[in-house]
Amino acid sequence: MPRIPRGQTQGGIYHIINRGNMRMQVFDDEDDYEFFLKLLKTGLERENIELHAYCLMPNHFHLLLVPQGENSLSKFMQWVMTSHVRYYHKKNKTSGHIWQGRFKSFIVEKDSYYLTLMRYIEANALRADLSKTAQDWQYGSLSERVFRNRKILNKPYGELDNWVEYVNTPQTQKRNR
C-alpha cells in the first residue's frame, strides 16, 4: 500500500533533509553530485517547486523548498529519491537501502528562522571543513549565488547586504548591520 502524501501548505517553506543509510556516503564523486543536481532541476520544473537554498554533502543533503502545487512536495521527493536510487544501484552494482528512510520535512514559520536556516544550509560544507569558504563548495547554493554557475535556484542572489560574509562568519558571531 503506498504511503499517503504528507500534509503540505501550498506556498509554505520547507526544510528537507535526508541522510545516507547508516550515515554512509551517497555522493562519491563529481558525477554523483552533478547527477543529483540535474534530478533536482528537472524535478523542480516537473512539480512547480521553488528552490531557495541547497547543500549536498557526502552523506546527506539539505533543501529549502516552496511547493506551489497540491502534494507537489511528496511527488517531487518521491521522483528525485527513486531516480537517484536507481542511478546509484546501476552505477555501483548494488542493491538495498541507500537512504536512511523517508525524507524529513520541517515547515518554516517565521521570517527570522528562514534566514537562519538559509545561512545554516549554505554554510554546511564550511562547518564540515569541506571548503575554505562556503561559496567554494560547488554543490551548495551559495556557490550558485556568487558564481552563477548553475540555474537551479529560484532566488539566485542574496537579499541581504554582506550575505556572503555573513554566511562565512561562524554562527556564534553576530552579523554587522
**Along the 177 residues of the chain, how does pLDDT read in single tens digits?**
555 555 666 678 999 999 999 999 999 999 999 999 999 999 999 999 999 999 999 999 999 999 998 889 999 999 999 999 999 999 999 999 999 988 999 999 888 899 999 999 999 999 999 999 999 999 999 999 898 888 899 875 556 779 999 999 987 755 554
Dihedral sign (CA 36, 142, 61, 17): negative
Q: How far apart are the first and last CA of the chain?
A: 53
Alpha carbon distances (Å) from 94 to 30, 77, 86, 136: 19, 22, 10, 32
Q: What angle do CA 65, 50, 152 make, to 5 degrees?
A: 105
| The domain over range 13-168 is classified in CATH as 3.40.1670.10 | no
56 membership: H or E segment, kind and range? strand 49-56
Domain ranges of the chain: 13-168
CA–CA distance, 143 with 177 (Å, rounded to integer): 23
- Per the prediction, the chain carries an average pLDDT of 89
- Tell me the one-letter amino acid at 32: D
- Cell triple for residue 37? 543536481
**DSSP secondary structure code for residue 128 in this structure:** T
